[in-house]
Amino acid sequence: MPPSETVKIVRFHSVGGPEVLQLESLPLPEPGSGEVRLRVKAIGLNRAESMFRQGHYLVAPELPSKLGYEASGIVEALGPEVDPAWLGKTASTVPAFPANTYGVYGEVAIVPAHALAVYPASLSYQQGTSIWMQYITAYGALVHLGRIGPGDHVLLTAASSSVGLAAIEIVKAQGATSIAVTRSSAKKAELLALGANHVIATQEEDLAARVAELTGGKGARVIFDPIAGSGLPTLAEASSRGGIIYEYGALAQEPTPYPLFTALSKSLTIRGYTLFEIISHPEAFVAAKQYVFDHLASGQFKPHIDKVFPLAEIVAAHCYLESNAQIGKIVVSV
C-alpha cells in the first residue's frame, strides 16, 4: 500500500506547558537533499525537548515548531545525495541536528541521513529510541573527556534520568565507582539494583559529608551534573582536589553561582558540555557510536524504559516527563 497522503505530526504554535502540544494532520512530507523519511515506530522523550517547548533551551523554536530528537523506525524514503542502502533499514535518530530545524514527534519524521544510526537487532523499537541521547551524552563527558577508570569516584546527579542511568552503566563498564544522587530515598533501592555503587538522597543526607565518607576524604574526581543553579557550590565541596565538574544542563532554571574560593583552593575545573561537542567531531562521533553499539550488543548496556505512552497522549507524556517521577526513559509508541 502506498503511504497515506496525510500523517499525524506533533507541533506547537506557542511556547508554554505541555498543553501547547498539538497532534495535527499534515501532508506527507518528502525528504530533501541529504534527508530521509523515517516511518516512526517509537519516540524517546528528553528534558531538552521540554525546555525547548518552553523557550528555555539553547536555541529558540521557530513557530509553528516540530519537536523531538530521538525516534526509531524504518527508513521509507530517500532524498537526493543519500546512500540507497538506507532504504528499508531499521534505524534510530541521533541528536545530530538543530532542535529548531527538525523534529521527530509524529508518524513520520524527516531527518538528515547523517543523523541515522543502526542499533543491535536484538533491541525493540522502544529500546532503539532509548539509546543515543543518553549514552553519547554520558560517554562524551565520562570516557572521551573525563577518562574515568579504576580508582575514580564519579558523582552523578539526577541519577534516575535516562542519562543518569546510562552514566551508571558507563562508570561500571570503565571500572570506576559511581555515587548516584537523587532527592529522596524513594528511588534508592532501584538505583542500586540498576548498578549504582552508592546512592545519596540529598533531602535526607549531607551531600558533601557523605561523599567525603565514601571516598575516604578525597572527594569525587569527576562530577556529572545537568542541574546547575544554587547546588553548584555543594558539588564543588564534594569534588576532589584537581577534580572536574561537567555541567551538561540547566534544569534548575535559576542563576548558577560560581564557587570561586572552593575552586581556587581545590584547583577545580568547572566545564560546560553537551553531546553536540562529540557529534560535531567526526572521529569522536564514530568512536562514541561504536562504543555504545558494542556495549549494547554485549548486554552490558540495557536501556531502561520507565513508561510508554501512545502518540495520542503526547501531552500526558510531557506532563509525566516534568513530574520527575520516572526512573529511566519515557517512550511514546507510534
Here the CATH number for the domain that contains residue 43 is 3.90.180.10
Asked whether residue 12 falls in the same domain as residue 123, the answer is yes
Q: What is the pTM of this model?
A: 0.92
Asked whether residue 285 is assigned to any structural domain, the reply reads no
30/17 same-domain check: yes
Whether 293 is covered by a domain: the verdict is no
CB 279, CB 95: distance < 8 Å: yes
Positive/negative CA dihedral, 56, 60, 64, 67: negative
Residues 79 and 183 in one domain: no
Beta strands in 58-192 (DSSP E): 70-78, 90-93, 108-112, 116-117, 153-156, 177-182
**pLDDT digits over 224-265, tens only?**
999 999 999 999 999 999 999 999 998 898 999 999 999 999
Q: What region does 228 belong to: left with phi over 0, alpha with psi -120 to 50, or beta?
A: left
Range list of H helices, 174-281:
188-193, 207-214, 232-238, 260-266, 276-279
Instruction: Say how many C-beta atoms besides its own lie within 10 A of residue 175's C-beta.
Output: 11
pLDDT of residue 97: 94
Supply the pLDDT for residue 3. 53
Q: Residue 192: inside a domain, yes or no?
A: yes
pLDDT at 266: 98
Q: CATH number for the domain including 272?
A: 3.40.50.720
Total count of domains within the chain? 2
Element (DSSP H or E) covering residue 320: helix 314-321
Distance of alpha carbon 261 from alpha carbon 259, whole angstroms: 6
Residue 43: strand pairing partners: 71, 332
Q: Tell me whether strands 35-44 and 21-27 are parallel, antiparallel or unpaired.
A: unpaired
Domain presence at residue 286: no
- 179 in the same domain as 86: no
Please list the pLDDT of the chain residue by residue as tens digits (334 residues). Answer: 455 689 999 999 999 999 999 999 999 999 999 999 999 999 999 999 999 999 999 899 999 999 999 999 999 999 999 999 999 999 999 999 999 999 999 999 999 999 999 999 999 999 999 999 999 999 999 999 999 999 999 999 999 999 999 999 999 999 999 999 999 899 999 999 999 999 999 999 999 999 999 999 999 999 999 999 999 999 999 999 999 999 999 889 899 999 999 999 999 999 999 999 999 999 999 999 999 999 999 999 999 999 999 999 999 999 999 998 899 999 999 9
Residue 60: domain span? 6-131+304-333
Instruction: Give the residue among 295, 296, 291, 292 at the shortest CA–CA distance from 122.
Output: 296
Going by DSSP bridges, is the β-strand pair 177-182/153-156 parallel, antiparallel, or unpaired?
Answer: parallel
The predicted structure's pLDDT at residue 111? 98
Residues 216 and 231 in one domain: yes
Do 25 and 88 lie in a common domain?
A: yes
